[in-house]
Each structure stands twice: as C-alpha cells, then as structure tokens.
Structure 1
Amino acid sequence: MLDLLVGPFAEFGFMRRALAGCVALSVSAPPIGLFLTLRRMSLMGDAISHAILPGAAAGFLVSGLSLPAMTLGGLAAGLTVALLAGLVSRTTLLKEDASLAAFYLVSLAGGVLLVSLRGSNVDLLHILFGSVLALDDAALFLLGSISTVSLAWLAVMYRALVLDSVDPLFLRLVSRTSSVTHLSFLAVVVLNLVGGFQALGTLLAVGLMLLPAITARFWARSINGLLPISVGVALFSSYAGLLVSYYGGLPSGPTIILAAGTLYIISLLVGPKGGLLWRKRG
C-alpha cells in the first residue's frame, strides 16, 4: 500500500518535480485566493488568469516555449489588464468587474490568435492547459521564488490586507495605505497566476488559487483557520491529482483541479460551517 502512495514519486524524477512545483503553488496561491473571496473578487482572478494569455503568446512568438519570455510577457499583460480595468472603473461609469470581463474576453481571443499564427495545436494546448509533468529546474526555481515573494508580502501586509478585505472604508479613514494595499494585492495575484500558468496553463491556473480557498469556508470562520485549511486542501489535491493521473493515465493538470473540486463538493455536503447536511440537522 505504501508503495502505491509513494512509489511514483520515489521512482520518477518528473513526478517529484511536478509535486515540488505544486507544493510551491499550494503554499502561496490559496491564501491569495482566500483574500480574493473575502473581497468578493473571485471572478476577477479568473479574468486576470485569461488576461495573461496574450503576453505569454507574445513571448511564445518571439522565443518559442521559452520560460523567461513567456513569464515576462504574461506578467506584463496581467498587470496591464488589472491596472487598465481599475483605471476604467475609476474614470467611467463601468464597474471594475465589467471592465475586467471586457478585457478578459479581448485578451483570451487575442492570445489564442497570436499562438495560432506560429504554433501548432499542441503548443496552444500547452499554453492553455499547462504541462505540470514537464516542469524543469528553471520552472521550479520560478515557482519557488514566486511562493517566497508572496509569503513575504503576506507577512508584511497581513493586517492592512485583512482590514482592506473586511472594512476598506475604515482602512481609508485611518491609514494612507489603502491604495498601496489594493494595487500590491493585484500585483501578487498576477504573480501567482503567472506561476500557476507554468504548471496548469492559463485556463486552470486560477483553480488551485480559488477552489481550496472556497472549500475552506465550510470548515472554518476565522481567517487564522481558513489560511492553513486552504493550503492543506491545495496540497492534498495536488498529491491526489498527480497520483490518480499517474495510475489512470489522465492529464495531470485537470486531474489536480478535479481533485480540488471533489473536496469542494464533499465540503459543501458535510462541512460543519454551513454544509448542507449540517444545515438540515440544525
């Protein structure tokens, strides 16, 4: 039994690298996703993840499947769309979610078009859905660096971020850090989505950020409880998804997200903090 659970990771280096990359993502992305849900910005994460595509596609056109080029392109595109959406919402009657939806649709279509100009269907699938089993040392270094920067930022900005998520008006009244907190938060969201893009592709990168965060809401109420639970859900989903994909011959990225989705459904049913079965008993 033990061999079934650890054998693939002990025997194959690509499985160990995939697990290491997923661990790095699982430590940093779910806490960011948790604050997205607290700020009612869950769909914003999905929109930004798609907004990364044209930048990654531009990097692909210039250098092929080059990690630095696609990373820098995706980071530039994600930050540009996030800032433009904020600017549009502040200078017009359009709300931020609507402006993000518009930019997201344009970005997704433009990115697919750019990849199609030079690449094949295989290249397009690689960019859209990722290839977690193909992570190399450079990609692991990138994911580890993103995780480290994100956790350091959370440690520094934690109190301001909690206030901005729970009572943004109060933060504006007592501190001048409200704008800095919001803009730096958007930057960290983009950074984690760029990291997730390397492993899970632009379409699934947001899954490991939001699903564990949403699942945790059925098991805890305080932020101090939600944070470790969301990370734990992401870690277990990554491990279980890789294991199931190995034995079942399934694509790893979608299987990881489906594992997280399965934990969400279970939590929706039996979670003690608002799960359906507990609500019926009450």
Structure 2
Amino acid sequence: MIDFLFGPFVEFSFMRRALVGCLALSLSAPPIGVFLMLRRMSLMTEAMSHAILPGAAAGFLVAGLSLPAMTLGGLTAGLAVALLAGFVTRRTGIKEDASLAAFYLISLAGGVLLVSLRGSQVDLLHILFGSVLALDDPALWLLGGIATVTLVGLAALYRPLVMECVDPQFLRIVSRAGGPVHYAFLGLVVMNLVGGFQALGTLLAVGLMILPAVATRFWAIDLAGLLPLSVAFAMAASLIGLELAYHADLPTGPAIVLSAGLIYLGSLLLGPQGGLVRRLFRRRHLEA
C-alpha cells in the first residue's frame, strides 16, 4: 500500500515536480478563492482565467513555449482585462459581470486564434489544459514566488478584505483604501491564475482556486476555519489527482480538478454546516 501511494513520487522526478508545483499552487490559490466566494465573485475568476489566454498566446508567438514570455503576456492581459472591465463598469451602466463576460469571450476567441496562427493542435492543448507533468525548475520557482507574494499580500490586506466582504460601503465611508485594496486583490487573483495556467492550463486554472474554497463552506463558518481547510482540501485534491492520473492513465490536470470536485460533492452531502444529509436528518427529527 505504501509503495502504491508513494512509489510514483519516489521513482519519477516529474511526479515529484508535479506534486511540488501543485502544493505551491494549493497554498495560495484556495485562500484567494475563499475571499472571492465571500465577495460573491467566484464566477468572475472563470472570465479572468480566459482573459490571460491572448497574452500567453502573444508570448507564445514571440518566443514559443517560453515560460517568461508566456507568464509576462498572461499577467499583462489579465490585469488589462480586469482594469478595462472596471473602467467600463464605472463609465457606463453595464454591470461588472457583464463587462467581464464580454471581455472573456473576446479574449478566449482571440487567444485561440493567435495560437492557431503559428502553433499546432498540441500547442493549443498545452495552453488550454496545461502540462503539470512537464513542470521544470523555472516553473516551480514561479509557482513558489506566486505563493509567497500571495500569502504576504493577503496578510497585509487581511483587515480591509474582511471589511469589504462584510460591508463594502462601510469601507468606502471610513477609508479611501477600498479602491487600492480591490485592485491589489485583483492583482493577486491574476497572479494565481497565471500560476494555475502553467500547471493546469487556462481552462482549468480556476479549479484549485474555487472548488476547495466552496467545499469548506460546508465545514467551517469563519475565516479561521475556511482558509486553512481550503488549503488542506486543495492539497488533498492534488495528491489524489496525481495518483489517479498515474495509476489509471488519466490526463493529470482534469484528474486533479475532478478530485477537487469530488471533495466538493462529498462536502455537499456530508458537511455539518448545511450538508444535504444533515438537513435531511434534521427535518426528519423535527417532523417526528
């Protein structure tokens, strides 16, 4: 049993690299997902994850499958779309979710077109679905750096972020930090999506950010429980997904995200904070 669980990581260096990269991503992305969930912005990350595609595709056109070029391009495109969506929302009557949806569709189509101009179908699949088993040292340094910056940034922004989750109007009244905090937080979101893009691709980058965060809502009621539990769920999904991919010969990125999805479904059924089973037994008790 021990050999079954740990054998792949002992025997193959690419499995160890994939595990380290996923664990680094699990440290930073799920806490971001918790704050997105509390601010009712979970679906926004799906749009922003596709917004990085044209920038990554531009980097690919210039330098091929170059980590620095694609990372810089994706980061620039993601931040540009976030700022443009905010600008359109403030200058017009369109809601932020609608403007993000519009830019998301434009970005996705433009990114796929850019990759198709020069790359092959394999390159397109690499960008859309990632290649977690092909992570090298520069990619691991990038993921580790993103995790470090994210944790330090969340520690610095913790109090205003909590206030904005509870009452954003109050934060705007008592402090002028609301706008800078919001854009700093969006910057952390984009950074983690770029990191997720390196491992899981643009289509699945949001998986480890949102699914563990939503699953924790059925187990904890405050940030002291939500934040560490989201990290634990993401790490468990990473390990389970890598094991499934290795032993069952499955695509690694989808296996990791599906493992996170199974944790969410299990939490939905069995979680003590509003899980379906608990609600069912509570109803029967009251009826009796």
Q: What's the TM-score bracket when you normalise by the shorter of the two chains?
A: over 0.9
Corresponding position of 1:98: 98
Task: Say yes or no: does 1:108 pair with 2:138.
Answer: no
Distance 2:173 2:280 in 1: 42
- The residue identity in structure 2 corresponding to 1:264 is Y
Q: What TM-score do you get using the length of structure 1 for normalisation?
A: 0.99
Distance 2:3 2:128 in 1: 33
Corresponding position of 1:160: 160
Residues 64-119 of structure 1 deviation map (CA, whole Å, 9 limit, x = unaligned) = 00000000000000000000000000000000000000000000000000000000
Kindly state the Cα deviation for residue 21 of structure 1 after the two structures are TM-superposed. Answer: 0.2
Residues 97-153 of structure 1 deviation map (CA, whole Å, 9 limit, x = unaligned) = 000000000000000000000000000000000000000000000000000000000
Corresponding position of 1:42: 42
1:234-253 equivalences in 2 (<5 Å): 234-253=234-253
Corresponding position of 2:57: 57
Whether the aligned pair in 2 keeps the contact of 1:130 and 1:200 (CA below 8 Å) is: yes
Task: Say yes or no: does 1:118 pair with 2:131.
Answer: no
Q: What TM-score do you get using the length of structure 2 for normalisation?
A: 0.97
Corresponding position of 1:3: 3
Distance 1:159 1:101 in 2: 30
More displaced, 104-113 or 166-175? 166-175
Identity rate, percent: 70
- The residue identity in structure 1 corresponding to 2:259 is A
Distance 1:159 1:171 in 2: 10
Kindly state the Cα deviation for residue 215 of structure 1 after the two structures are TM-superposed. Answer: 0.4
Kindly state the Cα deviation for residue 12 of structure 1 after the two structures are TM-superposed. Answer: 0.6
Kindly state the Cα deviation for residue 270 of structure 1 after the two structures are TM-superposed. Answer: 0.6
- SS of 1:65's equivalent in the other structure is coil
Distance 2:82 2:108 in 1: 14
Corresponding position of 2:217: 217
Whether the aligned pair in 2 keeps the contact of 1:164 and 1:181 (CA below 8 Å) is: no
- The residue identity in structure 1 corresponding to 2:103 is F
Corresponding position of 1:199: 199
Corresponding position of 1:281: 281
Residues 43-66 of structure 1 deviation map (CA, whole Å, 9 limit, x = unaligned) = 100100000000000000000000
Structure 2: gaps of 5 or more residues: 283-288
More displaced, 59-68 or 157-166? 157-166
Task: Say yes or no: does 1:30 pair with 2:27.
Answer: no
Distance 2:35 2:46 in 1: 14
Kindly state the Cα deviation for residue 176 of structure 1 after the two structures are TM-superposed. Answer: 1.4
Kindly state the Cα deviation for residue 173 of structure 1 after the two structures are TM-superposed. Answer: 1.4
- The residue identity in structure 2 corresponding to 1:224 is A
- SS of 1:202's equivalent in the other structure is coil
Distance 2:159 2:106 in 1: 36
Displaced runs of 4+ in structure 1, greater than 4 A? none
Kindly state the Cα deviation for residue 217 of structure 1 after the two structures are TM-superposed. Answer: 0.3
Kindly state the Cα deviation for residue 175 of structure 1 after the two structures are TM-superposed. Answer: 1.3
Distance 1:124 1:130 in 2: 9
Kindly state the Cα deviation for residue 174 of structure 1 after the two structures are TM-superposed. Answer: 1.4
Corresponding position of 1:19: 19
Kindly state the Cα deviation for residue 166 of structure 1 after the two structures are TM-superposed. Answer: 1.3
Distance 1:279 1:153 in 2: 38
Corresponding position of 1:184: 184
- The residue identity in structure 1 corresponding to 2:236 is F
Corresponding position of 1:169: 169
Distance 2:2 2:169 in 1: 53
Distance 2:57 2:238 in 1: 26
Distance 1:117 1:165 in 2: 43
Kindly state the Cα deviation for residue 7 of structure 1 after the two structures are TM-superposed. Answer: 0.7
Distance 2:25 2:19 in 1: 10
Distance 1:72 1:166 in 2: 34
- The residue identity in structure 1 corresponding to 2:126 is H
Whether the aligned pair in 2 keeps the contact of 1:213 and 1:230 (CA below 8 Å) is: yes
Distance 1:162 1:250 in 2: 39
- The residue identity in structure 2 corresponding to 1:32 is I
Corresponding position of 2:69: 69
Aligned length: 282
Whether the aligned pair in 2 keeps the contact of 1:24 and 1:144 (CA below 8 Å) is: yes
